[in-house]
Amino acid sequence: MKSLLYFLCGLLLLTACKRNRDEAMEIPPSVTSFWPNSGKAGTIVTIHGTGFDRKNSEADFNGTAAAVVSVNDTIMTVLAPAGGSSGKLSVKTGDKTLEAGTYTYQDLSMRGVNPLNGPAGTNVVIIGEGFSSMNAPAKVMINGKEATITSVNDTTLIAAVPVSAGSGTIRVVVDGKEVTGPAFLFQDISKIKPLKGGKGTHVTITGEGFNTVSAGNAVAFNGKVGTVISATATQLVVATPDDVATGPLSVTINGQKTVGPVFTVIPPPVLNTIAPLSGPAGRDVTITGANFSSLAEENNVTFNGVAGVVKQAGEKELIVTIPAGAGTGNMKVWVNGQETGGPQFREQNLGVVSLSPDNGLAGTTITVSGIGFSSNPAENIVTFNGVTANVVSATATTLAVIAPVNVTTGTVNVKVSSLDAIGPVFKRAGVVTLAGGPGTGMFTNATGLTGDRNGNLYFLQGLQVKKISPDGTVSDYAGGAVGGHVDGPLADALFQNPRTITADIYDNLYVLDGTGQRYYVRKITPAGQVSTVLNIIDNLSGALAVDNNGVIYVSKMYQGVYKSETNGSLTKFSTFPHSVPDKMAVDALGKLYYAGGDYYNPYIVVVPTSGQNSYHCGSLFDLGFVDGDGAAARLGSPLCTTLDPTTGNIFFVDNMNMCIRYVTPSGTVKTVTGAAGTFESFKSGYKDGTLNEALFKSMNGIHVDRSGNIYVLDQQNNAVRKIFLK
C-alpha cells in the first residue's frame, strides 16, 4: 500500500512538472510581417510570425474568410479570397485574433523575389503582375532607396540593389499604386582586421547581412576557403587557411558573393635583436626585426609564457614591458596569429640594453648601457664573445669597456656577483688603411679596383695595371712607362689608356683600354697572358662588366649598355640611353646593375636578362642621403657597382655623401660607413676606426672579396681602405 502511494505521488509530480515545462515553452502568437500587401483574388499571401496553431488557424480579408494553404509555427500561407475587399487582414490562431495590416485589392501584385540577399549591384528578379505602365516607369525601392531597373514587363522586374541600401522591405510603385514584398538582406563588408597575416590568422570581418549561423557564411581569401569561427549579423571571425593567398576577401551567403578589401599575406615575424635579454618587471625591452604590425594590439609577446604589454609598435620595432612573474624562459612573438620563437629571457635586476658603438676593432672604447651594474669597475666582468675585456669605469647604468685585442663578433655579456646578463651582438667591424694614406702620393690619378680569389687587389694608374697583395704591398703588374697596344706576357704587354678594370669568377682580369673611336677589352689570365678579346670602333663611356658565362658588357656614349656576342659583335642590352661611367656588376642570375655616376643621375639601374631595365633604387630627379626601399631612398653621386658574393647585395660608393652603401636584390638601400655616421652630405676627411667614425674623400673604386670584406680606392686620401663587416 505504501509503495502504491509513493508511485501515485511521483506520477502527480511528474505530470505537474511536464505541465509547467510545456507552459513555459508555449510562445504567444504574433504577426511580424506579410507579403505581398496587394493583389487580386487568389494571390498567395505569406504571413510571418510566431506561435501559430497548426490545427486551429484562419484568416480573413476585411471580414471575408480566406483559404489557408499551410501553417507551421512561424509561417501561414493563405489565398486572397474572391469577393474580398481592401482593408484589414486578420489572423485567428487558437483563441487569439491578430491584425496583420492592410491588404489592397488591385492589379499590382508580387508573387516572388530572388535573391533575397546580396551586396550592392545584385540583380533582384521580382515576379508578379501589373508592372507595366503607359504613364511612368515602375519604381523599385529597397529599404526606402530607389534601385536601378534594368528590365521590366508586366510580370517581371529586374532591379540592381543600390549602394548602401541596407536591409529592408522591397517595394514596387506603379502609377501611384504600390506593393510591398519581403525583406531584402543587404550584404556589405566595411572592414577587415588585420589586413595582413598568414596561415591561421584570425581575421575579424565587420559589415552587415551576415548569416548568424557560422556554416551559412562561406569566406574565401583570394579563392582559398577559410574557417568561420563565430558569426553574428554584423561580424564574422575567420581563420585563414594554410594555403592563404594575397588577394580580395569575399563572403558568400546563399550563393551571393560580397567582395571586401585585399588581405595581404606576409611571412611570420623576424626577430633581429632583443635588448635587454634580462631585467626586472616593469622595464622595457626593445625588439627589432621585420613583419611586425604597426597596431600594438596585433602583436603579442610572451616572456616564458607570461604576456608582456606592447607599448609601441612599428613594422620593424616593438617596445614591450616586462611582466611580473616572467622568470626564466624563452620569449615568443605572435603577429596576427603567426608565431616566431625568441631567445631565453631572465627576469632579474641585471640587464644590458645597448652598446655604443656596436661595432669596432681591438682597442675601441665601448659604452655598455643597462641596469644593475656595480659602480666598482672590478666587480663587473665583461666578455666579448667569450673574451674578457678591460672595464675602465662604471656606474649603476653604464660601463666603459675597451674591446680586447683578439675581439671577434659575438654577444657582450656582463656578470655582477651571482647574476649574469646576455647583451647585444658586438660586430668586429671598422675601417683600416690597407695601403697608402694622405701625403704618400701612392694612388695619385689611380682609378678602378677589383680583386681575385687569393685576396689580391688590382687597380689602374697611368699606363699600368697595379697589384696590392693581402698585406698591403703595392707592385707593378702589367703595362709599362710608355703607351701601346701589345698583347703577350705581363712583362711585354702595353696599354694605351686603361680606364676601367674588373674580374670574372675565374680570376681573369678585364681592362677597358683605348682612346677616341677605337676601344678594346683586354683580358689578363691568372697565368699572366694578355690578349685582346673585344675590338670596338665607337665612342665608349667607360662602363665594363663580365658575367659568369664570359659575356662582356660595355656602355656607348649616350646610347646605353651593349653586350658581346660570340662573333665579337655588340648587341644592345639596356634600352636606357645612359652613358655609364664605370664598373658595373652582374649577379648570379645574370642581372646587370649600374650606377648613374653623378649628381644628375642619383640612382642604380637594374637590367634583367630580358633587357627590360628599371630604376632599382634612388630617384630620377631627387638626390640626397636617405636609406630606404626603392624609390624612397636618396643617393648623391653613386659610382662603381660591385657584387658581394656572400650576400648578393650590390655595393657602390656615393661620392656626394662620402660613404659606402649597398642595395639589396629587392631594392633596399643601406649605408655601411662614411660621413662619420652623420648622414651629412659632403662630410669628408680621413679617419679609420668604427663604421660610425670613418671618413672618406672622393672614392673611385670598390671591391668586395669572398669573405665579405670591402675595399675602397680613396683617391684623394691616396689610400686603399679595408672595411671589416664580420
Judgement on whether residues 208 and 356 belong to the same structural domain of the protein: no
- Total domains in the chain come to 6
pTM above 0.85, yes or no: no
**Average pLDDT estimate for 457-471:** 97
Query: Exposure of 719 by Cβ count < 10 A (0-12 exposed, 13-18 middle, 19+ buried)?
Result: buried
CA distances (Å), origin 524, targets 476, 504, 519, 521: 14, 11, 16, 10
Torsion angle of C-alpha atoms 164, 167, 170, 175, degrees rounded to 10: -40
Count Cβ atoms below 10 Å from residue 287 Cβ, excluding itself. 24
pLDDT band (50, 70, 90) for residue 345? very high
Bond from prior residue into 182 cis (ω within 30 degrees of 0): no
Q: What angle do CA 272, 648, 317 make, to 5 degrees?
A: 20
Whole-angstrom distance, CA of residue 6 vs CA of residue 57: 42
Judgement on whether residues 646 and 573 belong to the same structural domain of the protein: yes
Residue 481 in any domain: the answer is: yes
Judgement on whether residues 150 and 208 belong to the same structural domain of the protein: no
For residue 489, pLDDT over 60 is answered with yes
Domain of 74 in residue numbering reads as: 30-103
pLDDT band (50, 70, 90) for residue 174? very high
Judgement on whether residues 517 and 660 belong to the same structural domain of the protein: yes
Residue 525 in any domain: the answer is: yes
Q: Which three cell numbers stand for residue 371?
A: 641596469
Judgement on whether residues 219 and 252 belong to the same structural domain of the protein: yes
Q: What is the CA radius of gyration of the chain?
A: 40
DSSP-derived 3-state class of residue 488: strand
What per-residue confidence (pLDDT) applies to 460? 98
Residue 448 in any domain: the answer is: yes
Q: What is the CATH number of the domain that holds 698?
A: 2.120.10.30
For residue 4, pLDDT over 50 is answered with no
The residue out of 371, 405, 428 marking a domain boundary is 428
Residue 17 in any domain: the answer is: no
Judgement on whether residues 166 and 241 belong to the same structural domain of the protein: no
Judgement on whether residues 161 and 139 belong to the same structural domain of the protein: yes
224-240 confidence digits (pLDDT tens): 999 999 999 999 999 99
Residue 1 in any domain: the answer is: no
Comparing CA positions, the residue from 249, 4, 312, 258 lying closest to residue 120 is 258
Judgement on whether residues 150 and 128 belong to the same structural domain of the protein: yes
Comparing CA positions, the residue from 522, 550, 554 lying closest to residue 538 is 554
Judgement on whether residues 522 and 386 belong to the same structural domain of the protein: no
Q: What angle do CA 510, 515, 520 make, to 5 degrees?
A: 30
Residue with the three cell numbers 492592410: 102
What per-residue confidence (pLDDT) applies to 51? 93
638-649 confidence digits (pLDDT tens): 999 999 999 999
What per-residue confidence (pLDDT) applies to 579? 86
Residue 23 in any domain: the answer is: no
**Average pLDDT estimate for 712-721:** 97
Judgement on whether residues 250 and 134 belong to the same structural domain of the protein: no
What per-residue confidence (pLDDT) applies to 18? 43
Residue 714 in any domain: the answer is: yes
The residue out of 84, 103, 122 marking a domain boundary is 103
The residue out of 166, 186, 206 marking a domain boundary is 186
Judgement on whether residues 484 and 534 belong to the same structural domain of the protein: yes
Judgement on whether residues 480 and 557 belong to the same structural domain of the protein: yes
Strands (E), 644-689: 650-654, 659-663, 668-674
Query: Exposure of 472 by Cβ count < 10 A (0-12 exposed, 13-18 middle, 19+ buried)?
Result: middle
The HSE-up count of residue 474 (CA atoms within 13 Å, CB side) is: 20
Q: What is the CATH number of the domain that holds 305?
A: 2.60.40.10
CA distances (Å), origin 607, targets 191, 503, 521, 566: 40, 20, 21, 21
Residue 19 in any domain: the answer is: no
